[in-house]
Amino acid sequence: MITITPVMLGQVIVSGLLAGALYAMVALGLGLIFGVMRVLNVAHGPLLMLGAYVTYWLFSTVGLNPYLSLLVSMPVVFLLGVALQHFLVRRVVDAPELSSLLLTFGISIALVNFAQLAFTSDLRSVEFITGSFLIGPFAFSKARVIACLFAAGITALAFLFLQRTRLGKAIRAVSQSREVAQVCGINVQRIHMLAFGMASALAAAGGTLVAVMVAIQPEMGAVYTFKSFLVIVLGGAGNYPGALLGGLLLGLVEQLASLFLTTQVNEAVAYVLLVIVLLLRPTGLLGGRST
Amino acid sequence: MPPILQVRNLVKRFGGVTAVNGVSLSLEAGKIYGLIGPNGSGKTTLFNCITGIEHRDSGAVAFKGRRIDGLKPHQVFHRGIGRTFQIIRVFPELTALENLLVVTSGDYARARARAEDLLRLVKLERLAGEFAGNLSYGQQKLVEFIRVLMTDPEMILLDEPAAGVNRTLLNELLDAVRALRDRGKTIFLVEHDMKVVMGLCETVFVLDHGEKLAEGPPGVIQADERVIEAYFGR
Amino acid sequence: MTRWTRWFLPGLAVLTLVLAVYPAWATGYGVRVMLQLFMWIALAQSWNLISGLTGYVSFGHVAFFGMGSYTTAILVGKGIPWPAAALAGGAMAVVLAFVIGWPCLRLKGPYFAIAMLGLNEVLRVAASYFEGLTGGGLGLSLPTLDASVRIYYAMGFVAIAVTALTYAIVTSRFGLRLMTIREDEVAAEAMGIDTFRYKIYAFLLSAAAPGVVGGLAARDMGYIEPVSVFPLVTTITMIVMVLFGGKGTIWGPVLGAVILFTFQELVWAHFPHAHQVLLGAIIVAVVLVMPRGILGVLQQKYNLPRTV
């Protein structure tokens, strides 16, 4: 049993929050789709993966600063998301949940293997920033800190959008009640497309930020899909601020667990956490809508 | 005679909204009771709490003297309470006959005979092999009604039995309900159609904003000013 | 309608006869191909038992296949004859199903699906972690044995058994109750059906055959490693076979297995990733256009009974 010093604890807690911000941003996307359309988007991870590949491609061909590539990856994947919603997902919004699950599952398989064809499964990386910020006894990976800052910023913008703008309020209205929103003159289908596009853009942003830190390969998204589900469950389905807290919580738990468990078993932590939470509080820790 | 159903101080909240706020009721066996109130007054939530579909936050429900709050819906069913739903919930890809058979276990031949008897009772015997999803609204409503009767429950909760039903069918349903009462069953129904309630129920409970506003025979309730206010506002 | 039944059963009998004597005149390759087809039929039918009948989508079903593979490989390595080892594989798969199902089947349908999504990864991690037992990333080798023909018959037997089991379930009240879970779980509960118990039964039943064929496949391949027995593409293929052929029917999974397997043999060998893109596209297409699969469509159009 290793002794845990306060420094180690502090390091782990901050690392957890840094990672959590990223989880929160990506999960917000998933939560948007679920809140607005009641669809569980299994293809969320692959959309993140596509964002990462856009960044990689721009970096390796024209040397574009990965953080600048946010300006490309987010809009591109936004449009892809809108297209997916308009042509495919729209047809299963009112169908039993099984249908939308299977549909997005099919889309995710197609996207992942398309990436395999286009990029092969060779691991790619974007070597842009290495090293850590040293603050007193703590060392934080630079890429992590910057990713957290961007994630926090993008998430804040997303929330401002949801709270202050007319479209954002319309999204929240449709999340509450589609019928009432329609009666108020809101074009629900447009809101669905917007929400799906926005969610995809958030996923892509996650992919871009993560591209600098981890190996890029076609299957990288799956774990983010799963963790985003976990965050939504932790924070409460349909509860957008809850997704923030859920993301931070997940980041914390994972980092804390890494103190005690080997890296391999760490991957199972998220899974076990999900099952436990679902059993104890199906409506999430902060309460929200159950399906 | 001890009451067959007792609800004591039932409270159910959804997030910030208190749907049922300390409701207490007492029902005696062999009578027809009605539950009325404006939309959103908590009637279906109360039903859901009684039948275990929702977990109450506090309060108690006792059936035949034994507590049933906290039980899962299928356990409540086996204690002797059956219910129908506001929005019809037949099993669409099962035939009418299968919808009935699925409810019972045990001797297949006897279950089948009973199912066919019930179908004959509501004159649907020729549709026994038809998928329930293909039946008309009124036929589905009847199937849902007789499905509840398959195990001969002692108490039956009907959630808006008159909704969307034409006059003839409605009269048949009401006759069936009276016949059940005559055989000693307790019926508890939620209904918006005042004529049905007034003509059928022996005692009526009125809910408003999750609280019991009044209770009594239909004539008294109709004249109660608080009830009129609740429905039509000041 | 009676035209169908008149030549269906005799046709089936003839087919069974032909398949029974097939190994006598076929090449080794031919036998192995057919053996795999039987395996896929068994897998598809099993997936149908839980996901087609109850509507609870199992995204991690290959876990039971892998469990059977590892159990059998380990037991054969200790000298146990492969038929017994394969049955043990099936038993262990059922145990795994119980361990997973007990917590996860309490969750409502979509949440159950999410939980099953992660299962694959967890098991792959577990297989790598318990290296002492499973050989970790290096995998396990079985002592060499040419038992293709015997495994052919074993696989065929399992395929027939699962199909017969499906028939028995679909025509019984037990099967009807499983279907009510798919139709309207709340109403089913309100009508006295303990949905949790029935879901568990269906889940356990659906894990047995994959466990057994996983064991048989391990014996046939002679070597297994985490990536070969827990591949997501196995679950995907199972799902596509059932969706395409007709979920919730008896012969739909068989039809889907035959068609998709043929397709797989032609395309996958040469274009593995294009193949999977197509699988994804097929899922999307089936969900949008033909959600009840081929047999489901025929069932509706010609008003066929449920035992199709």
Q: Give the tens place of pLDDT for each residue, A74-120.
A: 999 999 999 999 999 999 988 877 888 899 999 999 999 999 999 98
d(CA B77, CA C189): 8
* CA B163 vs CA B15, B99, B191, B192, C298: distances in Å: 29, 21, 8, 8, 35
Tell me if C111 and A233 make a contact (CB, 8 A cut-off): yes
User: Which stretch, A265-269, B109-113, C130-134, has highest mean pLDDT?
Assistant: B109-113
The answer to whether A277 faces chain C, any CB pair under 8 Å, is no
Residue B18 three-state SS: strand
Q: Which backbone phi and psi does A16 adopt, to 5 degrees?
A: -60, -45
pLDDT, position A288? 45
CB contact set of A84 (below 8 Å; sequence gap of 6+) = A43, A107, A196, A200
The answer to whether A105 faces chain C, any CB pair under 8 Å, is yes
User: Which of these ranges, A67-71, A163-167, A173-177, C32-36, has the smallest mean pLDDT?
Assistant: A173-177
- Which comes out higher in pLDDT, residue C243 or C23? C243
User: What is the 8-class DSSP label of residue C143?
Assistant: P
User: What is the 8-class DSSP label of residue C61?
Assistant: T
Name the β-bridge partners of C141.
C223
Which token pair is A128? Answer: 């842009």
Four-CA torsion A190, A196, A198, A202, nearest 10 degrees = 180
Tell me the average pLDDT of chain B. Answer: 90
Which whole number is the average pLDDT over C206-230? 89
pLDDT, position A291? 35
pLDDT, position A283? 55
d(CA A248, CA A235): 10
CB contact set of C255 (below 8 Å; sequence gap of 6+) = C245, C246, C294, C295
Chain C nearest C-alpha distance from A37 (Å): 14
pTM, 2 dp: 0.89
Which token pair is A270? Answer: 């998220």
Residue B180's CB is within 10 A of a number of other CB atoms, namely: 18
Tell me if C122 and A275 make a contact (CB, 8 A cut-off): no
Give tens-digit pLDDT for C145-163.
878 888 999 999 999 999 9
H or E stretch at C288: helix C272-289
Which token pair is A24? Answer: 């929160």
Which token pair is A88? Answer: 């495919």
Confidence class for position A1, pLDDT limits 50, 70, 90:
low
The structure tokens 């029974």 sit at C20
Which token pair is C88? Answer: 């043990």
* Maximum alpha-carbon separation in chain C: 59
Residue A7's CB is within 10 A of a number of other CB atoms, namely: 11
d(CA C260, CA C67): 24
**Closest residue on chain A to C51 (Cα):** A98
Name the β-bridge partners of B32.
B187
Q: Which backbone phi and psi does C106 adopt, to 5 degrees?
A: -75, -20
d(CA B83, CA B76): 10
d(CA B48, CA B32): 19
The answer, yes or no, to whether residue C121 has pLDDT greater than 80, is: no
Confidence class for position B223, pLDDT limits 50, 70, 90:
confident
d(CA C205, CA C200): 8
For residue A203, the one-letter residue type is A
Which whole number is the average pLDDT over C259-282? 86
Cβ atoms of C218 and C72 closer than 8 Å: yes
Burial A77-86, CB ≥16 within 10 A → b, else e: bbebbbebbb
CATH number of the domain where residue B23 is located: 3.40.50.300
Tell me if C55 and A96 make a contact (CB, 8 A cut-off): yes
CA A149 to chain centre: 15
- The pairing of beta strand B155-159 with beta strand B81-83: parallel
Give tens-digit pLDDT for C227-237.
777 788 899 99
CB contact set of A262 (below 8 Å; sequence gap of 6+) = C129
Tell me if B94 and C183 make a contact (CB, 8 A cut-off): yes
Range of the domain at B202: 5-232
Report the helix count and the strand count for chain B, using DSSP H and E.
9, 10
The structure tokens 């002797």 sit at B80
d(CA C208, CA C199): 15
The size of chain C, in residues, is 308
What is the interface size between B and C, counted as CB pairs within 8 Å?
62
The answer to whether A94 faces chain C, any CB pair under 8 Å, is no
Chains that touch A (3 or more CB pairs under 8 A): C
For residue B104, the one-letter residue type is T
The answer, yes or no, to whether residue A71 has pLDDT greater than 70, is: yes
pLDDT, position B154? 94
The answer, yes or no, to whether residue A236 has pLDDT greater than 80, is: no
Four-CA torsion A164, A167, A169, A170, nearest 10 degrees = 170
Which token pair is B118? Answer: 């019930």
**Closest residue on chain C to A115 (Cα):** C273
- What are the chain A neighbours of C274 within 8 Å (beta carbons)? 113, 117
Half-sphere exposure of C35 (CA within 13 A, CB side): 24
d(CA B13, CA B45): 10
CB-nearest to B74 from C173, C182, C192 is C192
Q: What is the ipTM of this complex?
A: 0.88
**Closest residue on chain C to B145 (Cα):** C191
pLDDT, position A109? 92
- ∠A8-A11-A17 over CA atoms, to 5°? 140
CA B159 to chain centre: 5
pLDDT, position C4? 64
Q: Burial-class residue A179 by CB neighbours within 10 Å (0-12, 13-18, 19+).
A: exposed
Tell me if C109 and A279 make a contact (CB, 8 A cut-off): no
Give tens-digit pLDDT for C62-102.
999 999 999 999 999 888 999 999 999 999 999 999 999 99
Among residues of chain B, what percentage have pLDDT more than 90?
61
Tell me the average pLDDT of chain A. Answer: 87
Name the β-bridge partners of B27.
B5
Which token pair is A242? Answer: 């809850």
The structure tokens 């309608």 sit at C1
Q: Which backbone phi and psi does C189 adopt, to 5 degrees?
A: -60, -45
Q: Domains in chain B: how many in total?
A: 1
